A = this chain, B = another copy of it.
Amino acid sequence: MNRSPLILVTNDDGMHAGGMEALISLARQFGDVVAISSREPMSGMSHAITIKVPLRVKLVSEEPGLTRYVCNGTPVDGVKLVFNSLSEHKPDLLLSGINHGSNSSSSVLYSGTMAAAMEGAVNHIPSIGFSLLDYDPKADFTACVPYAEEVITYVLERGLPDGICLNVNIPALSSEKIKGIRICSQANGYWKEEFEKRTDPTGSEYYWLTGFFHNREPENGGTGTDEWALKNGYVSVVPISTDLTAYGVLEQMKSLELAQTGKHE
């Protein structure tokens, strides 16, 4: 290409998140940045899109190499707005995050950060979601930088297969204590005991979402999973497919097809 790479940066923690600032700074080393975030934090919004209310976009600032927008939609809305309406060129790379908190294992399903990256992959743009295992709004992203640089360099040089993005989680450790990068599978886990029931001042019951993550992988096994890598001081990189087909079971399910078509032929 004759121009610098155009890098779309987004997140799900809102426009003032420290993780997004860290990622914008990093992205500017690699090319021109167009950044979009939601006005409000959008954790847990997954791949939601806004259908019922109009989307509004505000140009926040414009300087050489960095244009910033904010919108009233979800992370996926923001990505779609850049792809379709806000950018003259299709971005060469999409970076999402750095999320304040983990998106490993099945948390990838609920994550707005990772949904933004998956939306990039659906549109055949190399896309990476970054998360630091620290929910503190004032988390220190310094240790993330060399690992994020490594992953970004890899993706800019080699690209990613169409429809596949990366879910990068970084342990909340100092640079010296992080042991390196591991290419992982998504650990088999889920969230348990997820609601706290309370009574409001008028006597009505309500629930707050809460709970804790349960890893189904064996205690001393699962060395290939993201949960194992993170617990053992590694940065986990899971290649994520936007084709959700469970190819391994297609053949065994054919009997359902035969049973039904038998009635009709």
Do A183 and B254 touch (CB < 8 A)?
A: yes
* Cβ distance A51 to chain B, nearest Cβ, rounded Å: 5
Do A256 and B51 touch (CB < 8 A)?
A: no
Residues from 148 to 196 in A contacting B, C-beta threshold 8 Å? 150-151, 154, 161, 163-164, 167, 178-186, 188, 190-191, 193-195
Task: Give the interface SS of chain A, mostly helix, strand, loop or mixed.
Answer: mixed
Flag whether A25 is at the interface (Cβ < 8 A): no
The interface on chain A, measured as residues whose beta carbon lies within 8 A of the other chain's beta carbons, has a size of 89
Flag whether A29 is at the interface (Cβ < 8 A): no
- A256/B209 contact (C-beta < 8 A), A48-B46, A123-B190, A244-B240 known: no
Do B242 and A77 touch (CB < 8 A)?
A: no
A 3-27 to B, binary, CB cutoff 8 A, 1 in contact else 0? 0000000000000000000000000
Chain B residue contacts of A181, Cβ below 8 A: 256-257, 259-261
- A180/B261 contact (C-beta < 8 A), A161-B246, A186-B243, A239-B250 known: yes
Do A239 and B243 touch (CB < 8 A)?
A: no
Complex CA–CA separation, A51 to B116 (angstroms): 19
Do A253 and B237 touch (CB < 8 A)?
A: yes
- A264/B180 contact (C-beta < 8 A), A108-B244, A244-B241 known: yes
Residues from 178 to 221 in A contacting B, C-beta threshold 8 Å? 178-186, 188, 190-191, 193-195, 197-198, 200, 204-209, 211
**Further 16 A-B residue pairs, CB within 8 A, beyond A83-B194, A179-B264:** A44-B49, A51-B209, A54-B208, A80-B191, A80-B195, A106-B242, A123-B190, A150-B256, A150-B259, A151-B256, A154-B256, A181-B260, A186-B244, A238-B244, A239-B253, A241-B246
